[in-house]
Chain A
């Protein structure tokens, strides 16, 4: 077992936005007993002692935590590379200056589309203008800026303009990530899954943009795994490189794993080092011993680690099955059916179920 490299600190699931593709859990009310400042500081110390080198501050909206500056300062003091993943709502100039002084290394600002009406509709609240202003502020204060865009059926056709916007605001990186179907996104999957024609058009745009922007902007494009032949190497393997701490202190190999029927491990009850090494939630699918066929005998088992356990559970009810995305999976029909439906006579603008703010 190796040391983890990254900690995803989900400070709160509260959020001013209501995006239907949110990966936060459907049972958000179970996470309202949030860790205190002192508890987060202790988690950070324990994480650094375990070998963690990056701290991603996420949520929900992490800026809704009044102590976000103190948490950043604690992480920075431990030598962690700190990354704020934000909607930018709440990133006022004074707050940004405090975060800069506390040593925050990098800011990722989400945007829902390149144009105000569409972005605000998907976000469920007027937010586009404030996001653009916040991006300028991030650049002005000297941070590297990543623009995050979750792609789906209702905005992927705008990808060229989204890239244009990222270029205009001076982004150093842009992450164009097709929706992963967990949490609220799973609930909204049929309205979010793009068609093959949409994806093919998007990929042409991305390839051209990468070429054109090679020296200026890093263009990261995450394909939707429903359309791929093999599953994604989820998290670089279960409990191999990353860990997540949820707002109430549960520790998970990834944020989606809260949905699995595994015993809980919480920083309020146990040391992070023990949880990482020995708790059932971490050891359940670590390595390759748990694998059934076709993964067990597959020569890709160390490349994609059987894909995503949460997706296997969501689609089949059994987290130990091969990710149905894989064309070799005995359950692959489940994905084929969803893809077929997305390519049938389905309108682009189906109704989305917004996530609640808390």
Chain B
């Protein structure tokens, strides 16, 4: 995944919050991914419009220190699991 890519949640994936576990989650056809708060924040910014670089700077404005390779690594992992896709 490059800094200029524009990620978005895959169509069959739903980002929501599990009230029992008190954790953000991704719901997929065959599985559930339990997220931490920062993962959920990154995914909320994946709207297919913002670039990865844009997401990193948005997070930087909110939280001061965000290592951009961490965002990239996280999104690359989710793209490999088909939770995230890149808009053309």
Q: Do A and B bind each other?
A: yes
Residue numbers of A with Cβ under 8 A of B are 3, 5-6, 49-51, 53-54, 79, 81, 83, 105-106, 108, 144, 146, 172-173, 218
Q: Can you name 11 A-B pairs with beta carbons within 8 Å?
A: A49-B20, A51-B18, A51-B20, A53-B25, A54-B27, A54-B31, A79-B16, A106-B29, A144-B11, A173-B29, A218-B82
- Pair B14/A105 contact, Cβ less than 8 Å: yes
Contacts of A53 in B (CB 8 A): 18, 25, 27, 32
Report Cα–Cα, A5/B16, bound state, in Å.
14
Chain A residues contacting B31 (CB-CB under 8 Å) are 5, 54
Instruction: Kindly report which residue of chain B lies nearest to residue A80, judged by CB atoms.
Output: B27
Residue of A nearest to B82 (CB): A218
In-complex Cβ contact of A3 among B20, B28, B29, B30 (8 A): B20
Chain B interface SS verdict (over half): loop
Asked if A81 contacts B20 (CB within 8 A), the reply is no
The interface residues of chain A lying within 8 Å CB-to-CB of B21 are 3, 51
* Residues of B57-85 contacting chain A, CB below 8 A: 82
| A83 lies within 8 A of B29 (CB) | yes
**A144 lies within 8 A of B18 (CB):** no
> CA of A240 to CA of B28 in the docked complex: distance in angstroms?
19
Please measure, in the bound complex, the distance between the C-alpha atom of A53 and the C-alpha atom of B21, giving whole angstroms: 11
Minimum distance in angstroms from B78 CB to a CB of chain A: 14
Q: In whole Å, how far is B47's beta carbon from the nearest beta carbon of chain A?
A: 19
Residues of A within 8 A of B20 (CB): 3, 49-51
Chain B residues packing against A (C-beta within 8 Å): 11-12, 14, 16, 18, 20-21, 25, 27-32, 82
Best-surrounded residue of B14, B25, B31 (most CB of chain A within 10 A): B31
Q: How far is the CA of A50 from the CA of B20 in the complex (A)?
A: 7
Question: Provided the pairs A3-B20, A81-B27, A218-B82 are in contact, do residues A54 and B32 lie with their beta carbons within 8 angstroms?
Answer: yes
In the assembled complex, how far is the CB of residue B24 from the closest CB belonging to chain A, in whole angstroms?
12
Cα distance, A108 to B30, chains bound together (Å): 11
Do B18 and A81 have beta carbons less than 8 Å apart?
no
A81 in contact with B82 given A3-B20, A50-B20 (CB within 8 Å): no
| Nearest CB in chain B: distance from A215 CB, A | 9
In the complex, what's the smallest C-beta–C-beta distance from A129 to chain B, in angstroms?
25
Query: Would you list the 3 A-B pairs with minimal beta carbon distance, nearest first?
Result: A144-B12, A81-B27, A51-B20
The reply to whether A172 and B16 form a contact with Cβ atoms under 8 Å apart is no
Could you say which residues of chain A place their CB within 8 Å of the CB of B29?
Answer: 81, 83, 105-106, 108, 144, 146, 173
Bound complex: CA A49 to CA B28 (Å): 19
Q: Which residue of the partner chain A has the closest CB to B14?
A: A81
CA of A218 to CA of B20, assembled, Å: 30
**Closest Cβ–Cβ distance, residue B51 to chain A (whole Å):** 20
Contacts of A3 in B (CB 8 A): 20-21
Shortest Cβ distance from residue A183 to the other chain B in the assembled complex, whole angstroms: 21
Residues in chain A near residue B16, CB distance under 8 A: 79
List chain A residues, Cβ under 8 A from B18.
51, 53
In the complex, which residue of chain B has the Cβ closest to the Cβ of A144? B12
CA distance A6 to B25 in the complex (A): 13
Question: Which residues of chain B are near A83, meaning CB under 8 Å?
Answer: 29-30
Indicate if the CB atoms of A106 and B25 lie closer than 8 Å: no
